[in-house]
A and B are shown apart, each in its own frame.
Chain A
């Protein structure tokens, strides 16, 4: 059975800043209103999914731009015994008093963890002082803080660490990972900055799955690229209940191979189909390999055709493209 760490809600790609490395290409001009009634319905359905850990993770976009809606959903989720977590750029720390009030409201309704996206790319837009104030507010509220840092060969982890004091980051988990070249990063970050290696595309992600709902209602098995990959879509909450989508995913053998054996398990089939040139000699990570390969119409068609001969169930999602 697939195991999901969280129900990730991406209700909007609207963000107050437009970082150069942003995979979903969020920014101030990308506007979707949050569909709160739909997401409340999804949360209620998520409560029936046995292989989903009872945590709602608000992502985006910048969720704090829609604080009232986020609070309403957190409250609804808490009634269904969900805890909640948020990934945010921390801009709201600019006003400490107001920030403390917002965080206290969320804590009351199950907020346990905040992931602060802080790195060279975010700090092109936001002052360190604001982030420091966000951290202070979160510490006072007793919320677990994880600082997410995107790194490149040019902008390594210590560049971000040095912006803070040990006192600022005492008790904060700093989690750095290499830039994944998808979305805006492909155009705006030099490729010689990426950490890539011949082994980068190896491995699998079965332990890191999150049931993810995109602003258009599409559901993906993770929030690291697959949610924006039509061939990996599990369905759409506008047409199916979320618990039914999760049930269907259990019969999706293509998805199971992707998450359990990783994208590199398809390499041989692609070479057999004369598509070996689609495979890079180096990848930054399995997320890059997954996003690139399964968004490629030729690759998807080739794998779909092969799958067609072996098992029709595999075509459930492949055929979406």
Chain B
């Protein structure tokens, strides 16, 4: 299998008096000797925003490894215009190059157009590329179309990644069948420390549980999964 990238829940990091990398992600990734040019990193499996200090520190940690993290957001935190612009300028300066506004049908319905406008303007201010990802069932809902039009009204190009919603199946590593050599997997780490290898097929998302980073170092879990798969 090919380890194509990693998605990290922002809850894997916290700020007490100092920034805390709860699962030593950065030192563990170094041990995996990843090729930064072919390994994509995502922060916030659903939502990266909420604590600006934690996010900036997490971005800095990935940047030190020469990785360019993409931030995922549902857009809910961008209610205040000036605050949004200031935060995105700071993230742009820290090296963030891309933000994906990722919403399902319910999140799209709840997302106000003012938040989208603030996000677009903040991304302009920070020099950050904004993309839209819509997770949909049967059709392009009016709310998703409204979000796309809102972005289009404010910037010349709009990139949309439509995704049809699929069920997710959780599979223990012991039950997973070996993969083809070039099959691409995404490493997913949630806030509770669960380490999954994610594979998307036409019909479903398969999360193969490799273990928990509380109990065993991340690189060991990945190496064991690689050997098994």
- What residues of chain A have their CB less than 8 Å away from a CB belonging to chain B? 151, 156-158, 161-162, 164-167, 169-178, 195, 200, 284-285
Contact = CB atoms under 8 A, between A and B. Distances in A.
B140 A174 contact: no
B161 A161 contact: no
A156 B160 CA distance: 13
B65 interface: no
Interface residues of B, number: 21
B156 A158 contact: no
Contacts of B144: 158, 161
Contacts of A284: 156
A24 B139 CA distance: 34
Contacts of A169: 162
B134 interface: yes
Nearest to A147: B160
Interface string B141-153: 0001100110010
A158 B149 contact: yes
B163 A151 contact: no
B158 interface: yes
A174 B149 contact: no
Contact of A200 (B139, B156, B164): B156
A156 B151 CA distance: 11
A286 to B, nearest CB: 10
A177 B156 contact: yes
Interface in B146-178: 148-149, 152, 156-165
Contact of B163 (A158, A170, A195): A170
Contacts of A164: 140
A8 B138 CA distance: 37
A66 to B, nearest CB: 29
A248 to B, nearest CB: 30
A208 to B, nearest CB: 11
Nearest to A174: B160
B137 interface: yes
A166 B162 contact: yes
B159 A156 contact: no
B66 to A, nearest CB: 19
Q: Which of B148, B152, B161 has the most CB of A within 10 A?
A: B152
Contacts of A167: 164
A195 to B, nearest CB: 6
A175 B157 contact: yes
Given A157-B148, A166-B140, A195 B156 contact: yes
Contacts of A172: 162
A161 B156 contact: no
B140 A161 contact: yes
Closest 7 CB pairs of A and B: A158-B145, A166-B136, A169-B162, A174-B160, A170-B164, A177-B157, A166-B164
Contact of A157 (B136, B139, B158): B158
Contacts of B138: 165-166
13 contacts: A156-B148, A157-B160, A158-B140, A161-B140, A161-B145, A162-B145, A165-B138, A166-B163, A171-B163, A172-B162, A175-B157, A176-B158, A176-B159
A172 B165 CA distance: 14
Contacts of A166: 134, 136-140, 162-165
Nearest to B137: A166
Given A157-B158, A158-B145, A176 B163 contact: no
Contacts of A156: 148-149, 152
Given A167-B164, A171-B163, A172-B162, 17 more contacts: A157-B149, A158-B149, A161-B144, A161-B162, A162-B139, A162-B140, A162-B145, A164-B140, A166-B139, A166-B163, A169-B162, A173-B160, A173-B161, A176-B157, A177-B157, A177-B158, A178-B157
A158 B162 CA distance: 12
Nearest to B147: A158
A172 B136 CA distance: 14
Contact of B152 (A157, A173, A200): A157
